[in-house]
């Protein structure tokens, strides 16, 4: 540090003072490389082209004052010199950027302290520069972090608003601090309306079965200070009073030091899962029932025959006929379950060959004539001749049509009629199965093609598994077709299947 030489600009118009400065440097052997400017103009010019470690400037100059010089000094230490009695001026100079000041006395004693003042001013300037740089860096860092935080906040906000789950956060007082879009949709409240409100006033969870208030997982977290889940039977009561099955989980929000500052709760609408669960358990009970009924009857008839070896031939024949039919029912049921599991696993196989839809439809109707007769239902057909062929799986199409006819017979009371027709309309094969039966309630229409779905018909014992129409729909879709249903309660239903007809050439070309 002591070895370093300083580049100094002396701005002084008094020749005696200039000489005194030069003498001082020489006598004291000061490490200064100096330049002398005798006026403001000269100083400004020099400062425009050169950089100095320090500018030592006298207050009164021939063509101006030290303030004019200070104006053209950037990033350089400056020491201001003035005559006795002008301390005020000196303070003003410091405010304008000078690092220090010296009060000139007539006997030039001030020169004694000059070297120390210069050294300090340069050191002070250096420290100031470093501080300035550090400050600038800090500002830059704060700016960057703020931008980063804003970005993260934005990402978080977008994520929260696009989440399919409702997210609700509360503070230490259990008052709502966050409420995302899904929470708004699920509860019917808007964030503006619930912000700062006690969460218990807004989120009402009940037991789906008993309808009694259920323990909120938020209360659980308040007690345990750990993640808590609600029960499997939780339902949320929305603002409108609508009930929605939910799965609820809550977790503590902790600061870095571990202190709990709030709780976040996630609610998921599980109506679909609960509906599927309900359908599955309905299915299991109806399948067990369906399996048990034919089995019980097969066993009963077989036992009666075994117990009575002398049974007349005609009775034996009748019993065997029943056993045979019941076995068919069992086979159908088991095939249905197998088909459905193939549909679920996506492995249902369609073997495409050109098929004669008219003969398949006729065969399907014929196969059910016996059942129709037994149910005292008239079964009529109207099947066009010379229909174009269909590229498809004959067994699947046959089972699709028999399923529809079977349903039509099943849901039609005695003396009703079931009609099966097949025509070509607008180059599409249109197969209609209509009945004069009990019809389908409007609310159920959209669901009858879902797996396991059965219309609830109070007071009526109609057997089934809820699989038939799901299989029908899958077969139709896999043949690039579509199915429609029209129905009126106590008047009847019509199921219409549209399948693409294929020309002979296409049929032979397609494997």
How many angstroms separate the CA atoms of 67 and 82, rounded?
Answer: 12
Closest contact distance (angstroms) between CB of 240 and ligand ADP is 31
Under 8 Å between Cβ of 412 and 379: no
How many angstroms separate the CA atoms of 495 and 499, rounded?
Answer: 13
Q: By C-beta, is 31 or 464 nearer to ligand ADP?
A: 464
Q: By C-beta, is 44 or 332 nearer to ligand ADP?
A: 332
In the list 262, 388, 392, 466, the residue contacting ligand ADP (rule: CB under 6 A) is 466
Under 8 Å between Cβ of 497 and 476: yes
Under 8 Å between Cβ of 303 and 288: no
Asked whether position 411 contacts ligand ADP by CB under 6 A, the answer is yes
Quickly list H helices, 264-312: 271-307
In the list 167, 420, 455, 501, the residue contacting ligand ADP (rule: CB under 6 A) is 455
Asked whether position 500 contacts ligand ADP by CB under 6 A, the answer is no
Closest contact distance (angstroms) between CB of 506 and ligand ADP is 32
Closest contact distance (angstroms) between CB of 321 and ligand ADP is 24
Q: By C-beta, is 252 or 437 nearer to ligand ADP?
A: 437
Under 8 Å between Cβ of 140 and 132: no
Q: What is the DSSP letter of 226?
A: S
How many angstroms separate the CA atoms of 409 and 372, rounded?
Answer: 6
Go through the chain and tell me how many residues it has. 511
Which residues, 205 to 234, sit near ligand ADP by CB under 6 A?
none
How many angstroms separate the CA atoms of 366 and 353, rounded?
Answer: 23
Asked whether position 493 contacts ligand ADP by CB under 6 A, the answer is yes
Q: How many CB atoms are located within 10 Å of the residue 350 CB?
A: 14
Which residues, 423 to 452, sit near ligand ADP by CB under 6 A?
435, 437-440, 448
Residue 233 — φ and ψ, nearest 5°?
A: -115, 20
Q: By C-beta, is 331 or 508 nearer to ligand ADP?
A: 331
- Per-residue mark of binding to ligand ADP, 156-195 (x: CB under 6 A): ----------------------------------------
Asked whether position 419 contacts ligand ADP by CB under 6 A, the answer is no
Q: By C-beta, is 120 or 375 nearer to ligand ADP?
A: 375
Quickly list H helices, 163-203: 181-187, 191-194, 199-202
Closest contact distance (angstroms) between CB of 407 and ligand ADP is 3
Which residues, 334 to 393, sit near ligand ADP by CB under 6 A?
none
Interacting residue ranges for ligand ADP, rule: CB under 6 A = 407-408, 411, 435, 437-440, 448, 453-455, 464-470, 493
């Amino acid at each position: 540090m002591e070895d370093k030489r300083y580049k100094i600009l002396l701005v002084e118009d008094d020749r005696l003072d200039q000489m005194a400065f030069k003498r001082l440097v020489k006598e004291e052997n000061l490490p200064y490389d100096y330049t002398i400017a005798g006026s403001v103009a000269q100083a400004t010019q020099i400062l425009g082209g050169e950089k100095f470690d320090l500018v030592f400037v006298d207050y009164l100059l021939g063509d101006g004052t030290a303030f004019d010089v200070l104006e053209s000094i950037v990033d350089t230490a400056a020491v201001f010199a003035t005559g006795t009695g002008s301390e005020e001026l000196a303070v003003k100079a410091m405010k304008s950027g000078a690092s220090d000041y010296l009060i000139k006395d007539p006997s030039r004693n001030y020169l004694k302290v000059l070297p120390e003042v210069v050294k300090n001013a340069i050191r002070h300037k250096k420290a100031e520069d470093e501080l300035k740089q550090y400050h600038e860096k800090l500002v830059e860092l704060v700016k960057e972090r703020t931008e980063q935080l804003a970005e993260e906040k934005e990402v978080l906000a977008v994520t929260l608003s696009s989440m399919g789950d409702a997210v609700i956060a509360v503070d230490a007082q259990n008052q709502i601090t966050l409420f995302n879009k899904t929470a708004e949709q699920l509860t019917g409240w808007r964030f503006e309306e619930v912000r700062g409100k006690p969460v218990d006033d807004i989120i009402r969870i009940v037991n789906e079965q008993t309808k009694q208030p259920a323990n909120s997982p938020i209360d659980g977290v308040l007690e345990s200070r750990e993640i808590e889940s609600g029960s499997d039977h939780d339902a949320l009561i929305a603002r409108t009073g609508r009930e929605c099955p939910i799965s609820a989980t809550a977790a503590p929000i902790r600061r870095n030091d571990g202190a709990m500052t709030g709780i976040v709760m996630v609610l998921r609408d599980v109506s679909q899962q609960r509906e599927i669960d309900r359908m599955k358990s309905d299915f299991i009970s109806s399948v067990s029932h369906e399996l048990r009924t034919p089995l019980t009857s097969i066993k009963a008839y077989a036992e009666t025959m075994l117990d009575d070896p002398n049974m007349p031939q005609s009775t034996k024949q009748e019993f065997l006929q029943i056993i045979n039919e019941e076995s068919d029912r069992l086979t159908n049921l088991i095939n249905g379950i197998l088909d459905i599991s193939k549909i679920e696993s996506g492995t249902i196989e369609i073997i495409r060959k050109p098929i004669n839809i008219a003969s398949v439809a006729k065969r399907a109707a014929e196969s059910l004539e016996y059942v129709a007769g037994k149910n005292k239902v008239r079964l009529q057909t109207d099947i066009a001749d010379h229909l174009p062929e269909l590229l498809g799986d004959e067994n699947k199409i046959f089972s699709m049509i028999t399923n529809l006819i079977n349903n039509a017979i099943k849901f039609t009371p005695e003396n009703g009629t079931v009609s099966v027709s097949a025509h070509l309309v607008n180059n599409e094969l249109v197969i209609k199965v209509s009945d004069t039966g009990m019809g389908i309630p409007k609310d159920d229409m959209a669901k009858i093609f879902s797996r396991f779905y059965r219309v609830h018909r109070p007071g009526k014992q109609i057997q089934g598994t809820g699989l038939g129409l799901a299989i029908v729909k899958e077969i139709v879709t896999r043949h690039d077709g579509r199915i429609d249903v029209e129905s009126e309660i106590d008047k009847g239903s019509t199921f219409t299947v549209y399948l693409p007809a294929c020309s002979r050439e296409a049929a032979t070309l397609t494997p």
